[in-house]
Structure 1
Amino acid sequence: MAEKSDSISIKNWSHKDQPREKLRDKGKSTLSDAELIAIILGSGNRDESAVALSQRILASVNHNLNELGKLTLKQLMAFKGIGEAKAISILAMMELGRRRRGEEALKKQKISSSVSVFELMQPVIGELPHEEFWIIYLNNSNKVIQKHQLSKGGITGTLVDVRLVLKNALEVGAVALILVHNHPSGTLKPSEADKNLTQKLKTAAASLDIKVLDHLIITEKAYFSFADEQCL
């Protein structure tokens, strides 16, 4: 996975084009997205610096970091100057950012609104190309006991076993549930299957004195809340 030695090394850049020194001397917040990525890359190619290469990669996704995070190893390696090692470094960087968002949301463990559910789960399932169904188990203070992936499906659907949902609720001592799944298509409109499943789980949980507080459909940038829309 070694990169070609004919690339422009970071030590040979002009002073104004040295993001490592800029970060050291002026702080990380002063760097552009391209400069931060350039530090990860370390070098560009024969014709351009790492900053210029990073700018070109960002331009391909309209300077949107969320879109950058969706690029595959193969797509990254299509850029001149990006070999396997650099592509993997970019993927690792984006994954760390995604995990940090998830951890920051998890610190706000008390669920107070549909927004807090979205903040917790969007980094997990909001950008997936397939559908996943998750259950958030809560205690009597509406604090998260556990978030659990119940099933993973294809582009258009996933299967949910009500018995497994309630079995796990009893095992962790949950008194309330929030259902969450994503729509890779981007549509926020619940299907009839979504509505039927929500009512089925609500009825089954009620028999065990467990409340279903909400069901969220999550996309990359938005969500639909059954509770907010009075569909529960």
Structure 2
Amino acid sequence: MTFEETAYNTSRRILSWAEEDRPREKLLLKGKGALSDAELIAILIGSGTRELSAVDLSKIILQKASNNLNELAKLSLKDLMKIKGIGEAKAISIAAALELGRRRKDSDVVRRPKITSSKDAYEQIRSYLMDLPHEEFWVLLLTRSNEVIRPVQISQGGISGTIADPKIIFKSALEHLASSMILVHNHPSGNLKPSEADKELTRRLVTSGKLLDIPILDHLIISELGYLSFADEGLL
């Protein structure tokens, strides 16, 4: 056993730790920012040795790089594999993760499209609903500054209707931390006039959105002839 391994040999195995102190569980409970560099590397390598936990082995890996991630990225696979307990697979996992981090720095930040009008919303969602022979219900989830987080399909129905469950709609918004949303569905018939059911559903969702602090900004009906905006028509 090397001196470096002995220095950490008093640590308990990870599985005997309190759940909130295990790297994977800690990430789930507290978020990735709560983990140390060693804990993040431990998740990458997955396991330690008979004498060392994955976290303790990760501390040794970091020591080899003077506890500096930039220096760690300079180590070759052969350098990493010189550490007892680090085989080819673990060395490759570490190198791949560090390379992803380097590429992220070089990547441009993707700017989300911003919704400033019903036409903007229509342009973002129309390709999902054009030319469909059946009705579908979608939502555009938005950030606080009205940037599009993502479009989400809520339901798919028949020629004359589809079910839009408010629980599923707001569950999608909460899961993606949306600050607001725009409702969208299509009318395959080409008729852009909202039905009484469309109006009633919109009223219910607007009321629920106010209670949950996730306002409904608009409801679009899309057909091959264009679109109708509830907001533009004063129907919200």
Give the TM-score band, short-chain normalised: 0.5 to 0.7
CA contact (8 A) 1:122 1:220 kept: no
1:127 aligns with 2:131: yes
Identity, in percent, stands at 54
The residue aligned with 1:154 is: 158
User: How far off its partner does 1:215 sit?
Assistant: 0.1
RMSD: 1.5
Helix, strand or coil at the partner of 1:133: strand
CA contact (8 A) 2:125 2:151 kept: no
Say which of 168, 193, 198 aligns to 2:197. Answer: 193
User: How far off its partner does 1:167 sit?
Assistant: 1.3
User: How far off its partner does 1:107 sit?
Assistant: 7.2
> Between Structure 1 and Structure 2, how many residues are aligned?
127
Distance 1:148 1:205 in 2: 17
2:178 alignment partner AA? A
Distance 1:221 1:188 in 2: 8
Q: Which runs of 4+ in 1 moved over 3 A?
A: none
Say which of 218, 224, 227 aligns to 2:228. Answer: 224
Larger C-alpha radius of gyration, 1 or 2?
2
The residue aligned with 2:83 is: none
CA contact (8 A) 1:180 1:215 kept: yes
Helix, strand or coil at the partner of 1:147: strand
Say which of 174, 179, 185 aligns to 1:175. Answer: 179
TM-score by length of 1: 0.53
The residue aligned with 1:213 is: 217
Helix, strand or coil at the partner of 1:141: coil
CA contact (8 A) 1:126 1:220 kept: yes
The farther-off stretch of 163-172 and 190-199 is: 163-172
User: How far off its partner does 1:221 sit?
Assistant: 3.2
Say which of 182, 188, 194 aligns to 1:184. Answer: 188
> Where in structure 1 are there 5+ consecutive unaligned residues?
1-105
